[in-house]
Structure 1
């Protein structure tokens, strides 16, 4: 596909640049740097020299350099404040360290943060007890999230997750001509179905047409199995935790559920039941939101393709998504949109 030049340049991130950034904070690295997995940002594990500031408490730290142009400083700081609010409520989230009174720092034009290292593995979502534990975890996060709204962070809605990315893909010629018309027509139909689902609930940016609107609260907003780390129950801090909230937004609570549901309908139903068994021990769940699961899945489908296309000039993306932009890729997307139109026409899951 043609380059779109919609990403910043991370080339300044040499080892010397990273060590200098740490040094500006008064931290002394021993020279060992490990690049960690991250597409959107650049994340590194740095080991500190013994006996230097913070080294006793944190022998190794995680540095995250934020993709310029994605979030404003105010939006990143609001994410950090949310993380610290969650930590104060003893919700297992690893937030950035405050160094010299700040959690967000800048080195030669790049914003970055420094966080403790916390490991873990992916949770086993086929286990009902694990899902119930994750449900309790999400309920605790949402109890904090509903206290006050975000002022700077965006919302999970039809405009930003559907209309805008769809328009961007078409305006930038991201689709092969032989697939473009069919995808454009189907995506338009799919977004109309999303709007129809959101309107009765006053959700996804739609004006409510009947009754009480579903609640909007601060969310993780990208809660899938790859973003939850699990510590064995027998170890200190056992259970699920998040290591960052880089995608946090406002939206309905079900946004943090649906990506944890996979398989055939019966299996998704079973997983949902286990999640809610745990969740409702801590917080009530509005079951009207279950009608938003397939609309939210549809929005992510379109948003995800636009995300890859916008980052295509970043060398990490063609390497990770070699089939993206090909006719076969977009035919696959057409097939998925057909499936989503059928799914949105079915009755929602029940619990």
Structure 2
């Protein structure tokens, strides 16, 4: 793995004083209270505010998104919130801008929302989540992103293994098998995507339970940072877990709620395992690409170890078997 940890990372400059100054420059009135929240791709803080009580400040990772792509994320969030779909949207400043700049960082402020993880084993919760996602997709299908990317095997799969191999992230003794398994899987993924006539819509993009805050009145959604164009099933499959029979039951509950608001093309179910494959490959490459950020070696100390790559190869073998199974079905 390329050793780039000696160079100072931009986030090293993000001191509490700079955070508070940036939040004040964005129009808030911070009390001085700063609490770092669990976020790695960006830096996110809970900020005490004299008027709102608490706000959440998001410092976007330098170089990841263009200003235009961030504004598309914000506009989508605000469009959803304006239609009373419970998404935590950014707060506009006095000038109407949702993105401020301070100290070389781009910053957005959000209201703080509480909640708990959804009970994904509860049929009623899954049904209500389906309703929520169906409403989101009905809006997402109304127009396309112009600047944000489309989920595709080229970026999430091929570019991922190319980065891992080019930067010698995989131990030499495992390079051959890792390359063979990854390329074999991607050949199947490419074929499935090419053969699937699916519609791409604006998605949340990373719809796992950690991005859904559940309250007695239902869900609200946070973190549209990975929002992009893609097939609707991308916002569904991450909520499925357990054995095959369990996932089919969960899928049925979700789609029962979903289709009250938006039609789901069941031909997309053939993409679930290809999407899982892409996520596995992309996650390993994401860790490698971010290794120069000091937060990553501290949070993921096991990454890059021989044992990690042994487990990755085992996971890819298992994923190859899953790819050979018939797609999930829903009633």
How far apart are the structure 1 equivalents of 2:304 and 2:133? 35
Count of residues in Structure 1 that have an aligned counterpart in Structure 2: 328
Moved more, 163-172 or 336-345: 336-345
Q: Please, which of 183, 186, 190 is the counterpart of residue 185 of structure 2? A: 190
How far apart are the structure 2 equivalents of 1:90 and 1:24? 29
CA positional deviation for 1:315: 1.9
Instruction: Name the SS of the counterpart of 1:174 in structure 2.
Output: coil
Instruction: Name the SS of the counterpart of 2:64 in structure 1.
Output: coil
How far apart are the structure 2 equivalents of 1:28 and 1:226? 29
1:24 aligns with 2:25: yes
1:327 aligns with 2:322: no
Q: Please, which of 300, 315, 321 is the counterpart of residue 279 of structure 2? A: 300
TM-score (norm 1): 0.91
CA positional deviation for 1:7: 9.3
1:117 aligns with 2:118: no
Aligned to 1:86: 80
Aligned to 2:233: 254
How far apart are the structure 1 equivalents of 2:28 and 2:117? 31
CA RMSD of superposed structures (Å): 1.3
Deviations 1:106-144 (A, max 9, x none): 102100100101011100000000000000000000000
1:158 aligns with 2:153: yes
Q: Please, which of 212, 227, 249 is the counterpart of residue 211 of structure 2? A: 227
Q: 8 Å contact 1:34–1:44 — kept in the other structure?
A: yes
Q: Please, which of 251, 257, 269 is the counterpart of residue 248 of structure 2? A: 269
Aligned to 1:59: 53
How far apart are the structure 2 equivalents of 1:330 and 1:38? 24
Q: 8 Å contact 1:132–1:278 — kept in the other structure?
A: yes
TM-score (norm 2): 0.96
Q: Please, which of 88, 91, 94 is the counterpart of residue 97 of structure 1? A: 91
Q: 8 Å contact 1:145–1:218 — kept in the other structure?
A: yes
Aligned to 2:142: 147
Aligned to 1:138: 133
Q: Given the superposition, is the C-alpha separation of residues 138 and 26 from structure 1 closer, same or farther in structure 2, using an over 3 Å criterion?
A: closer
Q: 8 Å contact 1:8–1:69 — kept in the other structure?
A: no
How far apart are the structure 2 equivalents of 1:22 and 1:350? 48
Q: 8 Å contact 1:294–1:344 — kept in the other structure?
A: yes
Structure 1 alignment gaps of length 5 or more:
50-54, 202-212, 233-237
Runs (4+) of structure 1 exceeding 6 A deviation are none
CA positional deviation for 1:244: 2.3
Instruction: Name the SS of the counterpart of 1:10 in structure 2.
Output: helix
